[in-house]
Amino acid sequence: MSRHYQHDIVIIGAGAAGLTLALELADKHSVAILTKTDIREGSTLYAQGGVAAVLSDTDTIDSHINDTIDAGVELGDPEAIRFTVEHSKESIDWLVDQGVPFTRYGEGEEYHLTKEGGHSHRRIIHSADATGLAISKTLIKNATDHPNIDFYPDRVAVDIVTTKKLGLSGKNRAVGVYALNQEDDVIEAFHGQFISLACGGSSKVYLYTSNPDTASGDGIAMAWRAGCRVGNMEFNQFHPTCLYDAKAKTFLISEAVRGEGGKLLLPDGTRFMSKFDPRAELAPRDIVARAIDHEMKRLGINHVLLDISHKDEDFIKEHFPTIYKRCLEYGHDMTKGPIPVVPAAHYTCGGVVVDKHSATDIDNLYAIGETAYTGLHGANRLASNSLLECIVFARSAANHIAKHDNKHETVTIPDWDESKVTNSDEDVVITHNWQELRRFMWDYVGIVRTDKRLLRAKHRVDLLLSEIQEFYANYKVSNDLLELRNLAMVADLIIRSAMSRKESRGLHFTLDYPNKQEPSSPTILSPNKAS
């Protein structure tokens, strides 16, 4: 028998987006926050650079908007971009009020603003080189201290419960979530008037990623299965500079290192970025990642070098204390010489289609942060716009929920039915499919694509989806099976989106269509028209 929990708001994910939504609503609502592992684990925790916002008298809203449009290669939604940027300062003010310790400098102790690739002004407010950690720690403390917020760690969301799935008449709305309690393998039912997906992106679909293990596309896959549209899934950002070291897995080297003068070098010490873009190391991430990928393939090398050792040692240690210490742990002293770097899957620019209130196609279901497609990023994310998006759209969602908080009739969610499944004795199938999926996504649907590679990937993912569905229907669920099921579905959405775009734009680069097409539009897939 399932355990049942009742709250006003059920939020899946405890990153910047989920915590902001919870804190904005908790004074008048009971809130449940479900996390897959420890409540502190997630992409926000690892975000280094900062939050982009118009905070300087020399900066303008129009400048930030133009930089975002340019980085997104004119595919972003102008209204969504303006909405985000116009709410940037108040979002930073909100974080400051929450107690986030942003870095200050000088006698007047003004906030230090740094510059990152694609930005025309210094507008990145940060907390040294561990901004995500500072935001996460602050918001988690405030949330755990709040009497109306309950955390449920070690819960893996299985699916969204909707009135349509329950066979009820009327307009389809979300009423709850089924989740696996990993402590005792019991499926629990969480009832809520409003459900929010704030569980990050899907970069774990690739073999190499800078993201934590939790980034398995759960929110996107669950929303798709529930009947929501998804948008721009072909645009997966590969961070150009992750530390290349077998022991380090993939540790991200912040954009800010290049923003403060870091140079990309070939093994012989030659700079190469100026061959690809006049902005050199400060070009948008898609250009830098493709340039590195090109040079690695051209020369048959495993990595390139990033060098900021020409800067003063104290400057490096002060601005990048976390990166400096982590690199030193692996034997790389960035104050003495260059460090080895490679691109890795980093950010999902597409996601669940939402409006400016983060509302999805299903009533009372919201998607926020990297799970959502707001229209902000277009074909490529501008550095440090992601945390801003989390705060702006979470606060907008909270306002929308507060204004539409008309109590619906309570819907009974039935117990999870396990009467026709057994324990698996073939977990090797999960392991094998897991490895195969991430390998062919890296090889065929990575930084550079072709029609032939995409077709190969589509054939493989179709077979995997069939195998996984058969496994899911016959055996009790586990975390690995649920993640594999979600990743395979997200992989299919990425492949289908990539196959439909007959041009190269931003993060989607194909050798068969190397030029941009005009006009161009976002890729929107509907589950009601699934092929």
pLDDT at 210 (0 to 100): 81
- Distance between alpha carbon 269 and the CA centroid of its chain, in Å? 33
Helix and strand counts by DSSP (H, E) for the chain: 15, 21
Mean pLDDT of 450-455: 96
> Could you give the strand order of the β-sheet that contains 524-525, starting from the edge strand earlier in sequence?
372-373, 351-353, 230-231, 524-525
Residue with tokens 């742990």: 329
- 229, 258, 285, 496: which one is catalytic? 285
pLDDT in tens, 35-68: 998 777 766 766 667 999 999 999 999 999 999 9
pLDDT at 252 (0 to 100): 84
3-state secondary structure 176-224: EEEEEECCCCEEEEEEEEEEEECCCCCHHHCCCECCCCCCCCHHHHHHH
- pLDDT bin (cut points 50, 70, 90) of residue 3 is very high
Asked if the model's pLDDT at residue 401 lies above 50, the reply is yes
pLDDT at 475 (0 to 100): 86
- pLDDT bin (cut points 50, 70, 90) of residue 254 is confident
Asked if the model's pLDDT at residue 107 lies above 80, the reply is no
Quick one: which H or E segment has residue 323?
helix 321-329
CA distances from 433 to 180, 429, 467 (A): 21, 6, 9
Tokens of 91: 């979002």
Which domains occur in the chain, in start order? 4-233+349-403 (3.50.50.60), 239-345 (3.90.700.10), 427-514 (1.20.58.100)
Asked if the model's pLDDT at residue 531 lies above 60, the reply is no
- pLDDT bin (cut points 50, 70, 90) of residue 1 is low
Please calculate the CA angle 58-121-284 and round it to the nearest 5 degrees.
Answer: 160
pLDDT at 2 (0 to 100): 78
Percentage of residues in the chain having pLDDT higher than 70: 96
Residues 6+ apart with CB under 8 A from 25: 8, 9, 31, 398, 401, 402
Asked if the model's pLDDT at residue 262 lies above 80, the reply is yes
pLDDT at 45 (0 to 100): 66
Tell me whether residue 285 is one of the annotated catalytic residues.
yes
pLDDT at 11 (0 to 100): 98
pLDDT at 108 (0 to 100): 65
pLDDT at 508 (0 to 100): 96
b or e along 279-304 (b: 16 or more beta carbons within 10 Å of the residue's beta carbon)? Answer: ebbbbbbbbbbbbbbebbeeeeeebb
Distance CA 132, CA 126 (A): 9
pLDDT in tens, 280-331: 999 877 789 889 988 988 898 989 999 999 999 999 999 999 899 999 999 9
Q: Do the Cβ atoms of 264 and 281 come closer than 8 Å?
A: yes
Mean pLDDT of 67-74: 95
Percentage of residues in the chain having pLDDT higher than 90: 75
Q: How far apart are the first and last CA of the chain?
A: 37
Mean pLDDT of 123-150: 93
pLDDT at 94 (0 to 100): 97
How high does pLDDT run on average in the chain? 92
Distance CA 51, CA 119 (A): 12
Asked if the model's pLDDT at residue 515 lies above 70, the reply is yes
pLDDT at 170 (0 to 100): 87
The one-letter code for the residue type at 57 is D
- pLDDT bin (cut points 50, 70, 90) of residue 530 is very low
- Distance between alpha carbon 410 and the CA centroid of its chain, in Å? 33
The listed range with the strongest mean pLDDT (103-112, 283-292, 508-517) is 508-517
> Could you give the strand order of the β-sheet that contains 236-245, starting from the edge strand earlier in sequence?
249-252, 236-245, 339-348, 304-307, 263-265
- pLDDT bin (cut points 50, 70, 90) of residue 129 is confident
The packing angle between helices 78-86 and 88-98, to 10°, is 40
pLDDT in tens, 169-222: 889 999 999 999 999 999 999 999 999 999 999 999 998 788 777 889 999 999
pLDDT at 522 (0 to 100): 98
Q: Do the Cβ atoms of 108 and 372 come closer than 8 Å?
A: no
pLDDT at 109 (0 to 100): 74
For residue 66, how many C-alpha atoms fall within 13 Å in the half-sphere facing its CB?
7
Asked if the model's pLDDT at residue 247 lies above 80, the reply is no
Distance CA 304, CA 265 (A): 6
Asked if the model's pLDDT at residue 428 lies above 60, the reply is yes
CA distances from 203 to 116, 211, 223, 302, 520 (A): 22, 7, 17, 21, 25
pLDDT at 249 (0 to 100): 65
Residues 6+ apart with CB under 8 A from 297: none
DSSP conformational letter for 510: B
The one-letter code for the residue type at 387 is L
DSSP conformational letter for 268: T
